[in-house]
């Protein structure tokens, strides 16, 4: 593991800046992170407000995507009922896995016998 000693005096300070960082990357840092030093004006970005902000942000990203012609989540009806479909698919898959296991066990027995 990396050792923890500090101090590499020769290092020049490089300009910071996340060149390819997205707005989402920035927001998840400036909103959620850092130390909260409570001021005497109380602007708590409480979870509920963060959720609102995230919701708005999400809406904004949807708008941006729409402008760019990306709207698959609206035009693909399957996506809206995706959760229900996934639940059914999951159940199907479990049943099929059991069937498959039985079949394989049968095939192996047959293979061993011949």
Partner 1 sequence: MSGTTGAGPEVPGIVCAFAVTRTPPDAAALAAARGHEEGGPLRLVRAGGLCLVVQDVPAALFDQEALTERLNRPGDLERCARAHHRGVEAAAGRGPVVPLPMATLYRGDPTAARAVTDRREALEALLDRLRDRTEWAVKVHAAEAPPEPAAEAGAQAGTGAGAGGRAYLSRVSARRRDRQGAHDRALAEAEAVDAELRRYAVAATRHRPQSERLTGHRAPQLLNVAYLVEDARRAAFTGALARIAAAGRRPAVRIDASGPWIPYSFARWDEDPRFGPEAPAAPDREEVRS
Task: List interacting residues with partner 1 (CB under 8 A).
Answer: 1-2, 4, 6-8, 11, 13-43, 45, 47, 49, 52-53, 56-62, 65, 70, 72-73, 89, 92-93, 96-97, 99-100, 103, 107
What DSSP string runs through the chain? --------TTPPPPP---TT--HHHHHHHHTT-S-----SS-----HHHHHHHHHHHHHHHHHHHHHTT--HHHH-HHHHTHHHHHHHHHHHHHHHHHHHHHHHHHHHHHHHH-
CB contact at 8 A, 80 and 86: no
Query: Distance between CA atoms of 92 and 26, rounded to whole angstroms?
Result: 42
Residue 105 or 107: the one with the smaller Cβ distance to partner 1 is: 107
Considering the complex, what minimum distance in angstroms separates the CB of residue 80 from partner 1?
Answer: 13
Q: Which is nearer to partner 1, 4 or 84 (CB)?
A: 4
CB of 49 to partner 1, least distance (A): 7
- In the complex, the smallest distance separating the C-beta of residue 55 from partner 1, rounded to whole angstroms, is 9
CB of 60 to partner 1, least distance (A): 4
CB of 48 or CB of 84, closer to partner 1? 48
């Amino acid at each position: 593991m990396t050792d923890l000693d500090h101090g590499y005096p020769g290092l020049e300070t490089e300009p910071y800046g996340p060149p390819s960082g997205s707005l989402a990357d920035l927001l998840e840092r400036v909103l959620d992170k850092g130390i909260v030093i409570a001021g005497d004006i109380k602007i708590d970005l409480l979870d509920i407000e963060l959720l609102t902000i995230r919701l708005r942000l999400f809406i904004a990203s949807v708008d941006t995507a729409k402008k760019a012609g990306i709207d698959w989540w609206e035009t693909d009806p399957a996506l809206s009922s995706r959760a229900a479909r996934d639940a059914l698919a999951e159940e199907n898959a479990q049943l099929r896995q059991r069937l498959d296991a039985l079949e394989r066990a049968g095939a192996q027995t047959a293979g061993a016998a011949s």
